[in-house]
Amino acid sequence: MFVDALKTIWSDSGFAALAWKECIMIGVAFFLIYLAIVKKFEPLLLLPIAFGMLLVNLPLSGLMNEPAEGSSGPGGLLHYLYMGVKLGIYPSLIFLGIGAMTDFGPLIARPSSLFMGAGAQFGIFAAFIIASALGFDPQEASSIGIIGGADGPTAIYLTTRLAPDLLPAIAIAAYSYMALIPMIQPPLMRLITTKKEREIKMEQLREVSKLEKICFPIIVSVFCILLLPSVAPLIGMLMLGNLFRESGVVERLSETAQNALINIVTIFLGVTVGATAVADRFLRLQTLMIIGLGLLAFMFSTVGGLLIGKLMCWLSGGKINPLIGSAGVSAVPMAARVSQIEGQKANKSNYLLMHAMGPNVAGVIGSAVAAGILLALFG
């Protein structure tokens, strides 16, 4: 009888229901955990994503189950937490925290950085073209392209709106490539810029007054949302967070937006985005294509930023180091650090970090604008 009972438990257990597909997914989750912990690939998001992927691929856990209709039984834990992704709440709240952490000073001091931030959105549309050519529909192609925005919350927000099926692949690709920026960008930077350009030292940035910093988020919100209303949840919250920061009168709120709130939301977002990666949805050729296209998107964005950088270098009579252009992909502050490092390789006394922060934060705005356009066209 005991053996019978054990057999029953076994047949009700996940071991019996485990298919090879789930095993592969569990392996992928392990690999992502490895990348997050050992390689420190954007662990704040990749670790929760990977763990969510692990949990949801252990069969029969029911963590993402909707509540059964007509029954009073509740749905799965992650089903409820996922609501915040589905309804677009989490990405906006993360942007609130990011806004409160971001100093737009370097951008205000040299507003021409905005052009590099615009150029570095090129990868979004390059990937869009290729994805379209490969047969993805426009919604999917947009979501794939946005990986090139190098901005996690924007990518997640757009993808939940346009192509929710691709969410896990796109989120993972976006965060992985952001972590790989120090490997992806330098070869392209050396390829496109000349040694002489890389050696350019830039003038120190002027100081930005508090008043400018306070007006900036208000102006950006008003103008961007008026022009592209669909971008309101992203730009609006980003700029609200920044206004909390710069106003200096609501430090409590700024502090909470940067800590408790963003951390709680990050946990929920990460785990539930990972939990959308069920085997049937993830183990497709599509996923591989997305990963490949994501890399292309990052590369084209880098090139776009660098080319605008070169143009501005030429227009300014050699005052602007084109290396800061690649920071326009956003991936704050990783991409700016890469500019700094490459600059110093060319010229030991070259300090580009603060100069690269301008295009870097401009890239965040640029990606959100691009997302708004794609939403307006295909939403």
Partner 1 sequence: MSVLESFVVTLFSMSIVFFVLAFLWALIKILSTVLKHFENRKSENTAAQVATGMQAAVAAASEIGSVASISAGQVKLIDVDEKTAAMIMAIVSHESQIPLSELSFKSIKAL
Residues binding partner 1 (CB under 8 A): 1-2, 5-6, 9, 107-108, 111-112, 114-115, 117-119, 121-122, 124-126, 128-129, 132-133, 137-138, 141, 209, 211-212, 215-216, 219-220, 223-224, 227-228, 251-252, 255, 362, 365-366, 369-370, 373-374, 377
- The residue among 25 and 365 lying less far from Na ion, judged by its C-beta, is 365
User: Near its own copies by CB under 8 A, which window of 43-51, 146-154, 182-190, 285-293?
Assistant: 43-51
Residues that bind Na ion (CB under 5 A): 149-151, 330, 363, 367
- The residue among 60 and 288 lying less far from its own copies, judged by its C-beta, is 60
291 binds its own copies (CB under 8 A): no
Would you state the structure tokens that stand for residue 143, as one six-digit string?
């979501």
Shortest CA distance to 297 belongs to which of 78, 123, 129, 132? 123
User: Near its own copies by CB under 8 A, which window of 168-176, 244-252, 300-308, 321-329?
Assistant: 244-252
Shortest CA distance to 25 belongs to which of 270, 276, 277, 273? 277
Binding partner of 59, given its own copies, Na ion, partner 1, none, CB within 5-8 angstroms per partner class: its own copies
- CB of 143 within 8 A of CB of 158? yes
Binding partner of 257, given its own copies, Na ion, partner 1, none, CB within 5-8 angstroms per partner class: its own copies
**Secondary element (H or E) of residue 37:** helix 20-37
* Minimum CB distance to Na ion, residue 377 (Å): 18
In whole angstroms, give the CA distance from residue 142 to residue 127: 8
Shortest CA distance to 95 belongs to which of 291, 268, 261? 261
In whole angstroms, give the CA distance from residue 131 to residue 78: 31
Binding partner of 92, given Na ion, its own copies, partner 1, none, CB within 5-8 angstroms per partner class: its own copies
Vertex 371 angle, CA 273 and 223, to 5° = 130
Buried b (16+ CB within 10 A) or exposed e, 148-178: bbbbbbbbbbbbbbbbebbbbbbbbbbbbbb
Binding partner of 330, given its own copies, partner 1, Na ion, none, CB within 5-8 angstroms per partner class: Na ion
According to CB under 8 A, which residues from 178 to 237 bind its own copies?
214, 218, 221-222, 225-230, 232-233, 236-237
- The residue among 58 and 289 lying less far from its own copies, judged by its C-beta, is 58
Tokens 């000073």 — which residue?
105
Residue ranges in 249-284 assigned as alpha helix (H): 251-256, 262-275, 279-282
Binding partner of 149, given partner 1, Na ion, its own copies, none, CB within 5-8 angstroms per partner class: Na ion
- The residue among 60 and 315 lying less far from its own copies, judged by its C-beta, is 60
Binding partner of 307, given partner 1, its own copies, Na ion, none, CB within 5-8 angstroms per partner class: none
Tokens 């080319």 — which residue?
307
Binding partner of 12, given its own copies, partner 1, Na ion, none, CB within 5-8 angstroms per partner class: its own copies
In whole angstroms, give the CA distance from residue 101 to residue 95: 10
Using CB under 8 A, pick the residue from 60, 129, 288, 315 that binds its own copies.
60
- The residue among 248 and 318 lying less far from its own copies, judged by its C-beta, is 248
In whole angstroms, give the CA distance from residue 379 to residue 360: 27
> How many C-beta atoms surround the C-beta of residue 5 within 10 A?
9
In whole angstroms, give the CA distance from residue 204 to residue 359: 15
125 binds its own copies (CB under 8 A): no
